[in-house]
Amino acid sequence: MPKLLLATNNAGKVLEYQSLLEEVHFEIVTPAQQGLQLAVQETGRTYEENARQKAVTFARASHLLTLADDSGLEVDALNGEPGIRSSRYAGEGASDVERVTYLLGKIRGVPPEKRTARFRCVIAIAWPDGRVVFCHGSCEGVISSTPSGSQGFGYDPVFYFPELKKTMAELPMEVKNRISHRGRAAREALRILSGLAS
């Protein structure tokens, strides 16, 4: 079975992608499993540029088909912040709890109806020769005033779905995979990967 390198060592992302791509006929491997230690600086100005940088760098180093993503939270009351800076919003090396606390501090006093937000995800699939294809996904919600749930990572505990009356971190994995930004982008990626493996 051919290998597909997942260009992340984020344990939460690895778990999600293993679930999202379980139907694909590739062995999903991580950089750590391949003995790769690469630090890719995310210097792009868009999700596409950052995802491409990671996917191409790892594909060339590993000589494997590689999947990388870049995703972010866009809060309307903050003019789209944190966006592509989502993982670095509270400073380099900040924990998930610190990022969430920082975000809530930035929108303290903003009424619930103005706390609209969306998650965006761009997946880049790269070949060792430099070819790249992109897949996109997004989902809409609002930022809750307090974190709730322990199922997700990142900003999931404060990303609230009014119609479900739950945060992303309160959703079972199968529900999250169906409606999340990463789930939507991954379904597009699954179609591409299934075509390659057939």
pTM: 0.91
Name the E strands within the chain.
3-6, 27-29, 65-75, 82-83, 116-126, 132-143, 159-161, 166-167
Range of the domain at 188: 3-197
Q: Is 70 a known active-site residue? A: yes
CATH number at residue 99: 3.90.950.10
Number of domains in the chain: 1
- Closest among 40, 13, 18 to 28, alpha carbons compared: 18
Instruction: Return d(Cα 5, Cα 63) in angstroms, integer.
Output: 9
How many alpha carbons lie under 13 Å from residue 41 in its C-beta half-sphere? 1
Q: Which of 69, 70, 96, 156 is catalytic?
A: 70
Q: Report yes or no: 165 and 113 within 8 Å, Cβ to Cβ.
A: no
Would you write out the chain's pLDDT as a tens digit for each of its 198 residues?
899 999 998 888 888 888 889 888 899 999 999 999 888 877 889 999 999 999 999 999 999 999 999 999 999 999 999 999 998 999 988 999 999 999 999 999 999 999 999 999 999 999 999 999 999 999 999 999 999 998 878 999 999 999 999 999 999 988 999 999 999 999 999 999 988 865
